[in-house]
Structure 1
Amino acid sequence: SVRPDAYQRTALEAAVSNGRKSMGWILSDPRGYTQTASDMNARNEDFRRAAKIIKGWRRATKNRYADFAMKSFHIEQAVYAHFSSNPSTTIFDAVFEVMRSIPSLIRKAQFRDRANGRVFIDAYVESLETPQRDLIEEAADYFLMQLEQVKDEKGISSLFTGGRYRRPATEEFLFDKGIPTLVQSEMRIVAKALQGNGFPQKILDAVGWIAKSRHIEFRVREPAPECDYILWKVRNDNSSSQPRGEITKHHTQNDPERTAYFGRHYVEAYAILAGVCIARARQEVVLQTQHQAE
């Protein structure tokens, strides 16, 4: 299960208690469901908190994109189902898991009407058009990307900007693997450009300027955080014919990596302990044009 860090749980709770307009409790329950929700909240107050966070995301996205079609009541039912299966879950766990499940929630109707078991209350998803499904999934991706960066209450506002992210088919994120990010330790990457092709060995600085046709080894600077293993991600510039974005275990997919495309790229490392990312680091890699000196 997810082990929420105190600062992220506190930040999420504070965002709810501050009464942001984007997270107002939406009274969209049909008759008969309000009491069910109240009973669940009596058992675990994080039910209402988690629902408010995700509804806030929905409202912000709807305000920005008129075609955003996910229903508020659908979200509440998904949150209710999560709490029913996980009675002691927390606000962070619930938000993370429900947002991760968005693609499956809009794939087919799943929630039967309690008054009429032949009717699905989320039947509308069956008629969603491809652009509508894409928008919902891209908005959920954006939310989860921002959630990985949250460190305090100030960072919570990034969850409610209504953004979307259209990833290339090859790109992966930790949340795809069910790994939450709850940073507890510092970590840095050492990027060593190897000697060859007339170039001397060098260590990349934070800016990451490097020439084409170099070979780079990426390692975590010692002492590394105590963890079970390190995951690595290589993401090329969007203008590249191979944007990549795969996540691999222990080292980058190619070790060493070869610089081949001009543009701004990056490599990230994630320290994983008990299924949670407890430290992360990023190294920029900027390939220079023929008119720029190394």
Structure 2
Amino acid sequence: MDEGRSLELFFDSISLGTMDEYQPSIESLTKVLNKKYYDAESIDDHCIVVGSVGRKTAVSKTSDLDLLFILPHEVYTRFNAYESNGQSALLQEVKNAIRSRYPKTKIKGDGQAVVVSFTNRAYSIDLVPAFEQSDGTFKYPDSNDGGSWKITNPIPEQDACSDLFLATNGDGKRLCNALRIWKNTFGFHFKGLLIDTLVDSFYSSDNRSEEPYDLLTDLFEYLSNQDQTQSFWYALGSNQHVTNDDNGAFVLKAKKAHDRLIKATGSDERECALIDLFGKSFSDVVVDGTSNYEEKEWSTKYGVVVREQFIEDLFNVDVRRSMRIDCKVSQRGFRPTLLRDMLAKHLPLLRGRSLFFFVDDVDSFAGCDFYWKIRNCGEVAFQRGCVRGAICRGNEIGTHVEETAFIGPHYVECYAISNGVCIARSRIEVPID
């Protein structure tokens, strides 16, 4: 592998280039709300792009866009006077104003934002009505738990990211992008603002490498040394609290990523390590690569054409929640056993077993469609012409049934799809002895 060139292409490919894709929607929504609240026809006033896109740390194929629309203060006075949950009423009013322009579009009030899900576009917009304060912060509604007003401060966060990019010659941005691809590949929740904050604090530490591979290694080591029990971090620029969601899952996963990178010595091993961490986003751009050498040899030897599918080719991937799948292994005359328990105890999984895969806590994914991928990649699969790797839609209850047919390495992945976006994924290894 040409490591330097491959990493350069990887970073270039995952960076969000322009706002051209989003601009028509931003202008249209801005025009609607300016007409209602300011009696003006402007397409660019009172609207601020925030979130990862606003901080310029979003990756390509970003599936949602966060906007603040600044409302007149008299609107705040009107809804703050409600006896109960004026915040919900405000969201409903904004939602109805947008619906007058998009009557066939899926629009809903969602706690703190009005979510506009365009059926003909590969993204949705979370629009937050807000009121600018004298100190430059913004007050916005939260309709949860009876309603309240919250404060956000995105401009200093954007400025801090710009300073980071300038001070690091763009490497800070590349690392923010790479961590988003990593969490999407492994399927766990890692807040975008927390990613950017930790990358910024990483650059406040000492002894960083300059070579891209070693820089990634240092970053994962830094993440692995974070306190998994810490309740919050102070956001870059604004010093707002960024809470620790998902029990700090990123800490243990970063330790595994660091170990994977540091143990890879030769070029081929380093290539495989990068593919393991960043998935198809990296494998697609490898220059002079030799990964999956055995599979290429088996494919030639047995005349098998491999047509593996990847979820990234079917849907935008933006993992927002963690998901876990498990499997009940059963055979006649024996009590079903969880596959993860068998693997933990190093018990063999033999042929002729029934496998019942299921999504844990499936009720929390109500409204999602489930897709499954069964991948077998050992020599026996090539020898028999039974290589699998297609992605198929599953049932609405998040279950899938298979049988163990022949020995070799297998794995199963499940994807939760919401509004055309993969918001969660999980994988389990199925080594058949």
Query: What range describes the TM-score normalised by the shorter chain of this pair?
Result: 0.3 to 0.5
TM-score (norm 1): 0.45
TM-score (norm 2): 0.33
The one of the two structures with greater contact order (alpha-carbon pairs below 8 A, sep at least 6) is 1
